[in-house]
Structure 1
Amino acid sequence: MRAAYDEIADWYETEFLPGSLPGDPLGIRRAITEQLGPGPGRCLEVGCGTGVHAAQLRELGWSPVGVDLSAGMLRHAAGRLPVARADATRLPLRTGSADAAITVMAHTDMPGYPAVLREVSRVLRPGGRFVHIGVHPAFCGGFADRSDPAAVVVRTGYLDGHWTKASWTDKGVRDKVGASHWPLAGLLTAFLEAGLRLEGFAEGGSPVPTMFAVRTSTASR
């Protein structure tokens, strides 16, 4: 199976990532630190891409492992963390074998995200933590025009829950590989239906949030 990101993996690694804004403008690193917290243990990154978050996970004391569907992206990730090519709806881990899990700006690449959440819940140990960090469902998507840095124009389409390549910029990823949109209520409901307990939230980016993070855990048994 050829993944959409295979065609842009080299561009993503050599042009897109180096061209990203310096620092932590979307609050992603802060969200990883505050919502995931320190290890130790195995932390599974679902949709790890090129593995750019592995170093921070190690700094927090975790032993990161990654899964992704794109062989092209994993070619770059292999030097950063142990990886496996897999469909996130069928994770290649034993039940209860992960101490924590995380996904970073990747859930819109997973059309079956509710099934992914059920798999995450399965592979986590009792009381294990899962942190979702993604684009903000209320302010990012084909319905949102972010070309004005001072405002976001929200058009019809937020409630539709659809896949699209529509994007306000041709400098990013979405116009190249598309994205699945999950309205906020549907996204939060999917966590609950997967057996994940909601524990905390965070937003990042300004003046209108770009990032939305959710901290969850499995039930302790």
Structure 2
Amino acid sequence: MASTAAYDAIADWYERDFLGPGAEATDGNPRRLGPLLDELLGEGAGPCLEIGCGTGVHAARVRDLGWTPVGVDLSDGMLRHARGRLPVARADAARLPVRDDSVPAVIMMMVHTDMPDYPAVLREAARVLRPGGVFVHAGVHPCFCGGFADRGDPDAVVVGRGYLDGTWTRKSWSDRGVRAKVGATHLPLAALLNAVLDAGLVPERFAEQGAPTPIVMAARARKAR
């Protein structure tokens, strides 16, 4: 993920303001992603591991779907808020303290831009998933979000140079969001999808969220049996 100190420093702001009143009305906010979990994760049973669980905002929705949420995150500050919502452990997403083939579901929600080596994290997700287990990714849309995308006018997103660069940046069209505070790593769409395939995960379904230009791209995949 982005440096631990960065998220530790903004954890209280993230919980109080970013996830606060009105958050569900904002495209791309984690509190708006429940319908994507309903569609892509769906009902199930057993542990659902959330890699990069942050403050645990998705735990209640996962529980409502029948799963038992469990989270890992690198930031002590974020986990301080998460501990009342689900069992958690502090861990590097690329080195999970989880046995091979041990969990039936893994989710990663709006975190891939926080991880400097997301392909390595996908390989870890595939390692800990049971054969046939479900994996859900939801993240900022590679094509329309990033240092190259100016969303200052919601009706006319302007895409400039930088989409194919695949770099880390603090550049953002807004100074009110997470990215301007902690930066983000960008993966072009092809690199992101190829990383899923290279991890041994088989895509099943895709979804987008946000209007008029989507700000979130999500996918469901499974570990091959």
Q: State the TM-score, normalized to the length of structure 2.
A: 0.95
Q: Is the Cα–Cα contact under 8 Å of residues 46 and 101 in structure 1 kept in the other structure?
A: yes
Contact 2:206–2:219 (CA under 8 A) maintained in structure 1: yes
Alignment partner, residue 111 of structure 2: 106
Structure 2 matches for 1:8-157, cutoff 5 A?
Answer: 8-23=10-25, 25-26=27-28, 28-157=33-162
Whether contact under 8 Å (2:139, 2:218) holds in the other structure is yes
Aligned counterpart in structure 2 of residue 180 of structure 1, from 160, 182, 185: 185
Query: Matched residues in 2 for 1:59 and 1:21: separation?
Result: 20
Distance 2:98 2:177 in 1: 32
Unpaired runs of at least 5, structure 2:
none
The one-letter code matched in structure 2 to 1:29 is G
Name the Cα RMSD after superposition: 1.3
Identity of matched residues, %: 65
Distance in 2 between residues matched to 1:91 and 1:103, nearest whole Å: 13
Secondary structure of the corresponding residue to residue 107 of structure 2: strand
**Deviations, residues 91-126 of structure 1 (Å, cap 9, x unaligned):** 110001111000111110001100000000000001
Work out the CA distance in 1 between the residues paired with 2:41 and 2:4: 31
Query: 1:204 aligns to what?
Result: 209
Structure 1: runs of 5+ lacking an equivalent: none
CA distance in 2 between counterparts of 1:22 and 1:89 reads 30
Question: Do the aligned partners of 2:126 and 2:223 also contact (CA within 8 Å) in 1?
Answer: yes
In structure 2, distance between residues paired with 1:87 and 1:147: 34
Instruction: Tell me the secondary structure at the aligned position of residue 141 of structure 1.
Output: coil
Matched pairs, number = 220
Offset of 1:3 from its aligned partner?
Answer: 3.6
CA deviation string 1:108-163 (max 9, x = no partner):
00011000000000000010000000000000000000010111100000000000
Q: Contact 2:196–2:202 (CA<8 Å) still a contact in 1?
A: yes
- Structure 1 counterpart SS, 2:12: helix
